[in-house]
């Protein structure tokens, strides 16, 4: 076609053919080029359609079981997922926090009873009670409160190189939100309650006599109570034989023996200094 067009163009310059002959030759070449371009476009379109048959995951992770079988009809933007891919390393951990605890921590920090500087990272305890070896960090805390639970959700992120943490696994998070200097903790077995439910302990005085001391307890910390008011550092609290003291008549002397916390506890009532 191109050779014919070139010959016709040469003859047209010599006035041996008409302009119509040249236009026909040129139109034939343009038609062929258009057909080639259309075929190339169809090839590109077919390659794109073929690429769409292979679904590429937007993230790296572990894929679960497929919800469709081979030969099933699928469409773009369908509601049913073909499969679910979950990222395991790092992994997010969502922990509900009580709004009452958040307010308590905030007020304690405003009153300078808590230091919020130099806090350690977040730790986890697995469902079997063992400690997760990797530490995480708090990414954000939601501002919307769950009205039925009275909690907000804190999202943390943890490295998970060994795949110990799995989606929907139950874990317990230990997230320090402040440091209280000079905090006083007393064993739970040493705290009694009166008829009105108010907590108290027996404190050993300088004369070796035990006296009842009313307490203000803030919250539970492990197997101990965090004392907000009622005790001072260095005072000895009766931890063994409290029931024997309760059985003594009012006004009777209640002598006890103070034993260091790391010494073997005798059969007699013992007080541990805190």
Considering the domain delimited by 184-273, tell me its CATH architecture: Beta Barrel (2.40)
Mean pLDDT confidence for 246-257: 62
Rounded to an integer, what distance in angstroms lies between the CA atom of residue 222 and that of residue 226? 10
Alpha helices, DSSP H, located in 2-110: 2-13, 19-52, 99-110
Chain mean pLDDT for the chain: 79
Contacts of 6 (CB under 8 A, 6+ apart): none
- The residue ranking higher by pLDDT, 204 or 15, is 204
- The residue ranking higher by pLDDT, 237 or 248, is 237
**Quick check: 271 and 237 in contact, CB under 8 A?**
yes
Specify the pLDDT at position 93.
92
Q: Dump pLDDT digits (tens) for 122-153.
A: 889 988 889 999 988 888 888 889 889 889 99
Residues of the chain above pLDDT 90, percent: 10
Whole-prediction pTM: 0.55
Q: Dump pLDDT digits (tens) for 39-89.
A: 999 999 999 888 877 777 877 788 888 888 888 888 878 888 888 888 888
Specify the pLDDT at position 262.
44
What ranges do the domains of the chain cover? 2-52, 86-174, 184-273
Q: Position of tokens 């469709």?
A: 68
Rounded to an integer, what distance in angstroms lies between the CA atom of residue 164 and that of residue 122? 16
Specify the pLDDT at position 79.
85
Specify the pLDDT at position 264.
42
Query: Pairing between strand 257-258 and 270-273?
Result: parallel
Domains 86-174 and 184-273 agree in fold: no
Rounded to an integer, what distance in angstroms lies between the CA atom of residue 194 and that of residue 198? 5
Please state, in angstroms and as integers, the Cα–Cα distance from residue 234 to each residue in 7, 206, 231, following that order.
115, 12, 9
Q: How many CB atoms lie within 10 A of CB 91?
A: 20
* Strand, coil or helix: 265: coil
Q: Dump pLDDT digits (tens) for 25-37.
A: 777 778 888 888 9
**Quick check: 227 and 185 in contact, CB under 8 A?**
yes
Considering the domain delimited by 86-174, tell me its CATH architecture: Beta Barrel (2.40)
Specify the pLDDT at position 242.
73
């Amino acid at each position: 076609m191109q050779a014919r067009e070139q010959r016709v163009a040469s003859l047209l310059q010599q006035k041996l053919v008409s302009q119509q002959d040249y236009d026909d030759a040129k139109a034939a070449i343009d038609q062929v080029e258009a057909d080639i371009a259309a075929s190339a476009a169809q090839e590109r379109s077919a390659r794109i359609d073929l690429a769409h048959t292979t679904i590429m995951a937007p993230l790296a992770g572990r894929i679960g079981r497929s919800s469709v079988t081979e030969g099933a009809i699928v469409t773009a933007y369908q509601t049913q997922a073909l499969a679910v891919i979950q990222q395991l390393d790092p992994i997010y951990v969502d922990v509900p926090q009580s709004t009452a605890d958040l307010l308590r921590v905030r007020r304690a920090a405003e009153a300078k009873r808590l230091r919020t500087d130099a806090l350690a990272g977040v730790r986890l305890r697995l469902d079997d009670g063992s400690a997760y070896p990797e530490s995480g960090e708090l990414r954000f805390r939601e501002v919307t409160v769950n009205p039925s639970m009275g909690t907000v959700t804190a999202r943390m992120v943890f490295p998970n190189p060994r795949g110990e943490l799995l989606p929907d696994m139950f874990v317990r998070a230990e997230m320090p939100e402040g440091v209280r200097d000079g905090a006083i903790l007393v064993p739970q077995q040493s705290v009694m309650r009166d008829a009105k439910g108010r907590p108290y302990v027996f404190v050993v005085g300088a004369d070796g006599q035990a006296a009842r001391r009313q307490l203000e307890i803030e919250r539970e910390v492990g197997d101990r109570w965090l004392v907000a008011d009622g005790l001072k550092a260095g005072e000895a609290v009766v931890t063994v034989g409290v029931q024997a003291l309760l059985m003594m008549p009012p006004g009777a002397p209640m002598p006890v023996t103070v034993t260091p916390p790391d010494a073997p506890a005798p059969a007699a009532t013992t007080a541990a200094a805190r």
